[in-house]
Chains A and B, each alone.
Chain A
Amino acid sequence: MEEVKATNLLDDEGWQLVVKAGRRRSATYGFLARLYRVEVDEEFLHELKEMRFPAKTGNDLMDEGYRAISAYLGKPLAGMELELRIDYVRAFIGDGTDGTSAAYPFESVYTSEKHLRMQDARDEVLAIYRSEGLNKCEDWHDDEDHLALELEFMQFLCDKMADAVEANDEARAFELLATQNGFLNAHLCNWVPLMNDDMRKLAKTGLYKGLASLTEGYLEMEQELLEELVSDETEEDAEKPLAATDGGTHE
């Protein structure tokens, strides 16, 4: 499909799509974050079993991920919760001592030269959270660069972005998209795919193996999307005076 350079998209429908996508993106990030944050408990397991997963997303990894998750969840319920708890530890915590026993869900571990927690990455993401008035919750006793928090941050930004659009604050919406783009590239795509790779090697259940592919694929999708959204605003466009809508549509 040929790229059609924009017409200004000010009409409601278009904006609604941005909002809708934003909310959906938020939900996806929230979903992923939940799976990384703690084990699947009984309640969540029931919810998972009820879920419908998209068959074709346009991204192979995501499709693979959803398939694996869905297939796993289709198995009988008996023993599933315990199995998932064991696999959670296996994937993210490990039982070794040599620093190579798990897909540690901490950016510092993957990006610091010393392979330790609480390194530069943690400081950087903390500063970014702060710039949006956020920090870790009181009952979260782990590091700030845990993948769950980074994904929740993206979730937060999606919601805020959608709110901003709804409030007709386009500047803020764009700002948030730019923040998302920056954060995604600097603090998710730089390490999560490696971590997902390790997850696939370490986890045994389809849920966590699938989660790895799903995450990796979703970040790919996000990366492409945000790059587009952010680059669509050219300098030229920025200097253009407010243009009246010409009611143009796509397609």
Chain B
Amino acid sequence: MKNMTISRRTFSKLMATAAAAVATTGLTTGHALGQETAEQAAAAEEGIKKIRSCCRACGKSECGVWVYVKDGKVIRTEGDDTCFSTLGSHCSKGQASIQACYHPDRIKYPMKRTNPKGEDDPGWVRISWEEAYQTIADNCMQIKEKYGPEALFSWCGTGREWCMQSDAGMSLQLFGSPNIIAAYQVCKGPRHFAAALDNVEAWSWSDVDAHRPVLVQWATEQTQSNYDDSARMITSVARKAKTYISVDPRKSNLGSKADYWLNLRPGTDAALALGWCKIVLDNDLVDWKFIKRWSNAPFIAVPDKEPAGYGRVTQRYGSPWQFQTRLISEADIDPSMVDWEIEGDGNPMRYIVWDSINERWTYWQADPNDAHWEGEDWKPQTEGRMEDISNAPFDAVAGWIADLSDFNPAIDPALHGEFEIKLKDGTVHTGRPVWDYWCDYLEQWTPEYTAEVTGIDAQKIVDACLAWATRVEEDIPNAGINYGLGVEHAANSTENCRAIMAACAMVGAIDTPGGQRGATIGWTDAGDMCAVLLPGPGSFKNLPSPDLFSRMAGNSKMPLLNWYQVWADANAVMECAHRDPEAPYEIHGGMIGSGDHMNMGNATYNWEALNMLDFCFEANLWHSATSGCSDILLPVCHWLEMNTWRVSQGSQGGFGLGCRAVEPPGECKSDPLYFMELSKYFDVPAFYEEDDPWHDIAGTDKEIDYLNTWLFGACTVPFSNWDELYAAFQEHGWWNMKKEVPTDWGTFRRFETGQAYRPGMHQQAYTGQINIPGFVTPTLKHEFWNTTIESFYPEGEAGPEIAPGIHSEALPYYHEPEHGPVADAETYKEYPFQCITGRRIPVYFHSEHRQLPWCRELWPVPRMEINPVDAEALDLKQGEWVWIESPWGKIRETVDLYYGIKPGTINCEHQWWYPELADQAGGGFELSCVNCLTDRKCQDRYNGSSNVRTYPVKIYKATAENSPFGNPVPCGHDGREIITSADDPRLKMWVIGGPGVCADKFE
């Protein structure tokens, strides 16, 4: 036993310390440290846990990863090499996940501002979730009562858990508002929208992973963006292909390995596609069977009659709309025209077609309940063969390809000719098959004309097309086209997408290996639980009727948005929020995601509008550029902290899980969880049982509860509960839906087997019960002649003249980009450069990750690619700051001398803001956000997508004379420079004994 001794000095110190204590009462109670529980002790013994999961450092590809956890902490992440759909890819953003998850500035508690918007110091305080929920509900309800439900909106980009439409449910179910703004409108939405018009929603996605002999990568550089295939996958496909064709105005990273680089003028995608259509036609590379049997090419159009039709309902919400077309049906004609007995007034769903074999009229009956050709007893196709995957990775799975069936009884629908059409009213008109009009329109799209419009060498256009379209295997095309984001941004997105899809249809690449086959159909629907929609019959009580969609802002200008019912036009909603005198009504409150004011329309205008709102809340992991206009901030989870399912968005066919690796810090909740809880405050039941609207059982993990209800109840996941599924996933890894759902995802040409007809949400759990031949269009055919567009735009004035004095927008047509150098030549006189934007930066995802040192050091400032010849004429050097000015705004970026861009064109980066300026509202977005330059009123005619690429600008060096604070380098309001290099001390990590936070930040 030791003796403790103390010296005099020690004694006096003891005295002093006793005296130095403050006398406290028992009220300083509560503590954070306590006795260790058995569970906690067990965790220490576990060593390193290896958890299989799914990354979400972007929101695009479903990259399988491993997460290593030691004692409640993630120590690293890496690619899961066994994930067949992404091949173990884990990009730089994903690799930096720990830096994001454990960043000291993550929002961990709900916050509310105590100072008004516009003041430098928001005066944030922490509040409880209850107070946050109540405040949100009270404010929103108040606005709703005073101004109506459409006075509320939601605006979100790519979801944190999964992908698109992450907060549509907020608007629809909690607010009862149709004003859903989604970045989807300018990103992938146009592709999905156009595909919904032409065949099936989202069949714009192609089966890239099939490793076909030809890859046509039309826009998008997936090695940088992993959108929607992982970098490893697309690199593999491109390298293993016999022919790799890159369509891009600029030389891109993987694109520099292409066999053909079709360097088109920005925004002329439809022109190139139409040129390809003509080459396919002229070289007899058309899949005639597909065209005749599965498209509306043989249907007869009579341009000079009044369109006629019947009432239909929208795919998503069953809202009524009036279908009308000039394609001839049994209901239009004089019964004497045909040799069968027409019942009653004739069936408007029976489209007549001329049979060249029997030289008589016959018909296709486009009734989903009884679809068939005359005399046909349609049965799902059973003949076919297995896919050849010898070029694909070793873990690929082969699908079964249904043969194209023959007509039975045998007919041969005419594709050309002039036919006498006698209408009911006795008048006689000339009708021609759609294909005939189509070929007429294609006449002008010779390689030479296409070259003239697009700027691509004519021979290259031909050679590339022939390489693509000339079949290696007799019975299936080589591939479809993998078309990406760039086609959507010149305010002609619908037409670009339609023309490209038409080319794919012409070669028969619809739902074939490598062809256009849309979203993975498997065990589940879209992988975004309740942030999209809450389940349960009561969940739409705030949405009084489907007619509410007719109240969407911007509806009158873009009526097809009411048909589509997916998003409201961003600019129109912002005009309402901005209280523009011409807006149909005012918008006073809503919810915003992260920095979304930068993604569509004009960022400056949007920012003004957001600051005019009475109330706005944001759910985020960080103080983003938009926290400055928010009243309440909700802290949400990082992907490392979330349990969810992940199904491949596109055609990759994967199903896996996102597995919570660590507890969320502070009071973070996942988006789905807070959404479920918030719903209670809006009096919307979040669960299935209406009389027990919420499982408020203590200890219930609501998220797991929901997963159990949804995955195993509503969807068809073949396990009993989440725990079982989780364990199976850890053991087995990713499931391949081709293997698990062979009669849907494992089958190609599902229009032959009756499983393609899938209205509404493009991703649904497999049922196998569809049994309807064809596609989800009013004609059930792939529509060259688009009857939906025709219904809403019967005059077709924006389209080409297809008959003397008659215009139509029904066929895909070319439309010069409104702010391109041809249509807007006048403006280019003063603003001589064509500005394109939006290309991917490997370490960022849109506005995300600027604050992660591992990302920012590699890409400190925005770069404008400019041809060295142009740069020299303007006396610009590599790395210098320049002003880029359009008629609508001006920003600064740095010079990157780049021979890969055409003289006269520049390529700017998008969505830049500066976290080091986060203490000023807006985070400095006005300095470099490229959407400050846009004309918000220039939009796609049909879907409203913004013109965020291809517009006129002028460029000049940033100098002391022409820059604020006399500094070419962008600065904050107080003259503080932004971070411009990896050596900036603000990026450097903490040094023990260092001087503390940056001295220049304080007095």
Contacts and interface: CB of A to CB of B under 8 A. Distances in A.
B33 A17 contact: no
A118 B35 contact: no
Interface in A218-251: 218, 221-222, 224-225, 228-229, 232-233, 237-238, 240, 242-243, 250-251
B29 to A, nearest CB: 8
Interface stretch (B57-65, B449-457, B498-506, B995-1003): B995-1003
Interface in B899-927: 915-916, 918-919, 923
Contacts of B993: 194
Interface string B607-640: 0000000000000001110010000000000000
A129 interface: yes
Given A24-B21, A99-B104, A102-B104, A228 B10 contact: yes
B69 to A, nearest CB: 11
Contacts of B74: 118
Contact of B109 (A31, A93, A135, A228): A93
Nearest to A197: B996
B667 interface: yes
A170 to B, nearest CB: 5
A190 B992 CA distance: 8
A163 interface: no
Contacts of B9: 1, 3, 228
Contacts of B727: none
Interface string A81-121: 01001101110011111111111101011111111111100
A97 to B, nearest CB: 4
Contacts of A38: 30
Contacts of A82: 114, 125
B18 A17 contact: yes
Nearest to A122: B73
A71 interface: no
Interface string A6-27: 1111100010011011001101
Contacts of B18: 17, 20-21, 24-25
A174 interface: yes
Contact of B28 (A30, A191, A250): A30
B990 A111 contact: yes
B4 A86 contact: no
A114 B987 CA distance: 10
B767 interface: no
Most buried by B among A8, A86, A152: A86
Contact of B4 (A3, A152, A232): A232
B32 A149 contact: yes
B3 interface: yes
Given A53-B22, A134-B35, A138-B37, A43 B27 contact: yes
B6 A14 contact: yes
Contacts of A37: 30-32
Most buried by A among B3, B8, B104, B666: B104
B32 A137 contact: yes
B423 interface: no
Given A156-B33, A228-B13, A243-B3, A99 B105 contact: yes
Contact of A117 (B28, B104, B123, B627): B104
A75 interface: no
A114 B97 CA distance: 13
A99 B851 contact: yes
Contacts of A95: 122, 124, 623, 627, 918-919
A141 B3 contact: no
A40 B113 CA distance: 18
B2 A238 contact: yes
A155 B11 CA distance: 20
Interface string B106-144: 001101001000000011111000000000000000000
> For chain A, which range describes its interface: under 10, 10 to 19, 20 to 34, or 35 or more residues?
35 or more
B36 A142 contact: no
A134 B34 contact: yes
A89 B990 contact: no
B12 to A, nearest CB: 7
B916 A8 contact: no
Nearest to B991: A113
Contacts of B71: 123, 126
A107 to B, nearest CB: 11
Nearest to A126: B71
A228 B484 CA distance: 71
A17 B16 contact: no
A65 B990 CA distance: 26
A113 B918 CA distance: 23
Nearest to A237: B5
Contacts of A27: 21-24, 28
Interface in A183-231: 190-191, 194, 197-198, 201-202, 218, 221-222, 224-225, 228-229
B7 A62 contact: no
Most buried by B among A5, A116, A250: A116
Contacts of B1002: 201-202
B698 interface: no
A202 B1 CA distance: 50
Nearest to A44: B27
A229 B1001 CA distance: 41
Contact of B918 (A96, A228, A229): A96
A173 interface: yes
A68 interface: no
Contact of A100 (B22, B44, B124, B998): B998
Contacts of B5: 6-9, 232-233, 237
B14 interface: yes
Nearest to A52: B23
Contact of B32 (A119, A140, A250, A251): A140
A54 B923 CA distance: 44
Interface string B634-652: 0000000000000000000
B34 A137 contact: yes
Contact of A89 (B14, B111, B979): B111
Contacts of A93: 108-109, 124, 126
B20 interface: yes
A130 B11 contact: no
A54 B4 contact: no
Interface in B36-71: 36-37, 40-41, 44, 70-71
8 contacts: A6-B5, A17-B18, A88-B125, A102-B105, A115-B990, A143-B665, A171-B2, A228-B6
Given A52-B23, A97-B915, 10 more contacts: A6-B7, A24-B20, A51-B22, A89-B111, A99-B103, A113-B989, A138-B37, A170-B1, A221-B13, A225-B14
Q: Which 9 A-B pairs have the closest CB atoms?
A: A6-B5, A97-B915, A135-B36, A24-B21, A228-B10, A57-B20, A140-B32, A97-B851, A116-B102
